[in-house]
Every structure is written in C-alpha cells, then in structure tokens.
C-alpha cells in the first residue's frame, strides 16, 4: 500500500499508483481489472483480490467510501458533454471525488487538454462500441496488416497527446503483443490476449450473468454461473408472489401472527369511548 495525497489533496493510500502501472511495462507481472456497478459487486471484487477498478461517474463517491484504497478509474461517455470545457470541469470533479484516472473517447485535442492539467488520461483503441457504426458493427480489430498499423499509429498519437492508459478491446493478440512494448501507454487488454499490461473483464461476464440466449461476446469467459441463480431467484419470486396473491383473493392473508393486536382489555375501553364520541 502506497501513501499518497489524492487529487483533492487529502492524505490517503492506494494499492497501486500511476507510477506502479507504468512500471508494468517490460515486466511479467499482470494485474486484474473489473467494473463493479454497485457496492455489493465492489466488495466482492475487493474480497476476490481484484487489483484495479473502473466505475461510473455517478458512483464514484459512494464506491470510494467502500474501497478507499483501491486504484479506481472513472470518466465520461462520448456524448455526455458537448463542449471541451464541460469535459475538463467533469474530469476535475471526478478526480476531486476520488478518481485515479479519467476515461475519455473524445479527440486527441481533448486528451491533450486533460493531460496538460496533470490528469491521468485513459482512452480506448481497437473495438470501441460507441463507434461501431463506423466499422460496420461489433467485430475484431487488427486482423489484417493495414488495420494493425492503424492501431499502432493511433496508439502513438495518443501517446503524443499524453494519454497514460488505454483499454485495448478485441484486438488481434499478435498486434497487441507487437505494439505494447513500443509505447509507454499502459494497456488494459479486454479480449486482446495476454500481451496487455492489465487483464480486464466485466463483472457480469466473469460471473456468468448472461443467459445462453443472450450470446455473450467471444471474450466473455464465465468463471461462474449467476444466470442459473438469477433464473432460480426469478422463479422463487413468482412462486412467492403468486401465493401471496392467492391468499389475498381467498381472504386468508394477512395471517393472525402477522397482525398487531391491542393490549388486553383495551379493545373494550376503546369501543366504549368510541360509542360516547
């Protein structure tokens, strides 16, 4: 655990710092990363030993209280803000509230603007779902030499803009392996093989929350089977609700043991007083 001042200038500590992640380059050490959506999932990540966390901006304050010392990324979606000033203001707000890096999909100029203010900037290469219209849908990236070189050029432009880390999503494993040591940017591999400095997967995918009908993506390996439990819980809910409804319709519920009764002899006193009223 490293002693730090966080970006609000409060004394704190972190399991990993920006410098620690940058030091992963060239080493054999891998870190794990996931995206808890609430305090329960966050505590599960902590108890399971997950190294790095990424959360939504609306959660940062609440989840930072649950995990005061975990490295935690936060950011904004591509269409969340229009003006650059809004993005900068949001980034400062997120860092004040406990963020350790700020994710953006916006232009290189926006990335540079944030980096120049000392904000650890994370972006995204390869398959960017927000931009899937541009590439003909959700698919793998870098499967031919021209596209692989475009990934490298994009990575270097991000590096020049001051980007600290990228989510490398659904890139051919050979490509990420080749470019990873040619950049100072820390890579978070999501469906891009072992070459990333950090291996990322979503909580829902790790825990197996998608049903077979939902056809989870290729990179979504389920280490659990919460979908089965969700089905069981749904069936149990329907059974319980149906029984409740049936008992109400038959004038059987509420049961005597669930009701509140007056103290002994108080009913008579009350009725007498009610008659006199």
pLDDT at 227 over 80: yes
Categorize the per-residue pLDDT at 61 as very low, low, confident or very high, splitting at 50, 70 and 90: very high
pLDDT of residue 54: 97
Query: What pLDDT score does 26 carry?
Result: 84
Closest CA to 42 of 79, 71, 82: 71
Q: What is the CATH superfamily name and number for domain 2-224?
A: Phosphoenolpyruvate-binding domains (3.20.20.60)
pLDDT of residue 215: 78
And the tokens for 6? 């966080």
What tens digit of pLDDT does each residue of 7-58 get? Answer: 999 999 999 999 999 999 989 899 999 999 999 999 999 999 999 999 999 9
Max CA-CA distance within the chain?
Answer: 95
Query: Which residue ranges does the chain devote to CATH 3.20.20.60?
Result: 2-224
Question: What is the mean pLDDT of the segment spanning 148-175?
Answer: 97
pLDDT over threshold 80, residue 143: yes
Distances (CA, A) of 39 to 48, 62, 64, 66, 204: 14, 8, 9, 7, 14
User: Which pLDDT value is given to residue 180?
Assistant: 95
Tokens 């710092």 locate to: 17
Residues contacting 107, CB < 8 A, separation 6+: none
Q: Is the pLDDT of residue 229 over 80?
A: yes
What's 141's DSSP letter?
B
Taking the C-alpha atoms of residue 25 and residue 198, their distance in angstroms, rounded to an integer, is 10
Average pLDDT of the residues of the chain: 95
In this predicted structure, what is the pLDDT of residue 216?
81
For the chain, what is the total number of helices (H) and then of strands (E)? 10, 10
pLDDT at 49: 97
Give yes or no for residue 211 having a pLDDT over 90.
no
Indicate the range of 149-153, 185-189, 210-214 predicted with least confidence.
210-214
Pull the structure tokens for residue 132: 């899937």
The answer to whether residues 126 and 141 touch, using CB atoms and an 8 Å cutoff, is yes
CA distances to 158, 185, 196 from 26, in Å = 20, 12, 11
Please enumerate in sequence order all residues whose Cβ is within 8 A of that of 184, keeping only pairs 6 or more positions apart, or say none: 22, 25, 159
pLDDT at 156 over 90: yes
Where does the pLDDT of residue 218 fall: very low under 50, low under 70, confident under 90, or very high at 90 and above? confident
Q: Which is more confidently placed, 135 or 119? A: 119
Give residue 210's pLDDT.
86
Whole-number pLDDT of residue 169: 97
Q: Identify the pLDDT of residue 234.
A: 95
Q: Omega before 92 cis (within 30°)?
A: no
Residues sharing a CB contact under 8 Å with residue 33, sequence separation 6 or more, in sequence order:
50, 51, 52, 53, 54, 188, 198, 199, 200, 201
Mean pLDDT confidence for 226-245: 96
Residue bearing the bigger pLDDT, 183 or 215: 183
């Amino acid at each position: 655990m490293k002693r730090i001042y966080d970006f609000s200038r409060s004394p704190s500590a972190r399991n990993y710092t920006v410098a620690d992640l940058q030091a992963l380059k060239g080493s054999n050490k891998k870190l794990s990363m996931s995206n808890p959506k609430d305090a329960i999932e966050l505590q599960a990540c902590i108890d399971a030993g997950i190294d790095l966390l990424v959360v939504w901006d609306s959660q940062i304050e609440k989840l930072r209280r649950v995990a005061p010392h975990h490295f935690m990324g936060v950011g904004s979606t591509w269409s969340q803000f229009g003006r650059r000033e809004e993005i900068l203001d949001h980034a400062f707000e997120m860092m004040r509230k406990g963020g350790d890096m700020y994710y953006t999909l916006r232009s290189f100029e926006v990335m540079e603007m944030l980096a120049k203010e000392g904000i650890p900037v994370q972006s995204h290469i390869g398959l960017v779902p927000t931009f899937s219209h541009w590439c003909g849908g959700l698919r793998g990236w870098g499967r031919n030499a021209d596209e692989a070189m475009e990934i490298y050029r994009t990575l270097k432009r991000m590096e020049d803009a001051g980007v600290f880390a990228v989510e490398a999503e659904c890139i051919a494993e050979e490509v990420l392996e080749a470019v990873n040591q040619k950049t100072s940017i820390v890579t978070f591999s999501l469906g891009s093989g072992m070459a990333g400095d950090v291996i990322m997967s979503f909580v829902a995918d790790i825990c197996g929350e998608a049903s077979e009908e939902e056809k989870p993506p290729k990179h979504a390996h389920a280490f659990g089977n919460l979908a089965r439990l969700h089905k069981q819980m749904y069936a149990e809910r329907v059974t319980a609700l149906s029984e409740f409804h049936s008992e109400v319709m038959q004038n059987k519920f509420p049961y005597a043991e669930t009701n509140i009764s007056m103290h002994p002899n108080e009913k008579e006193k009350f009725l007498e007083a009610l008659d006199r009223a």
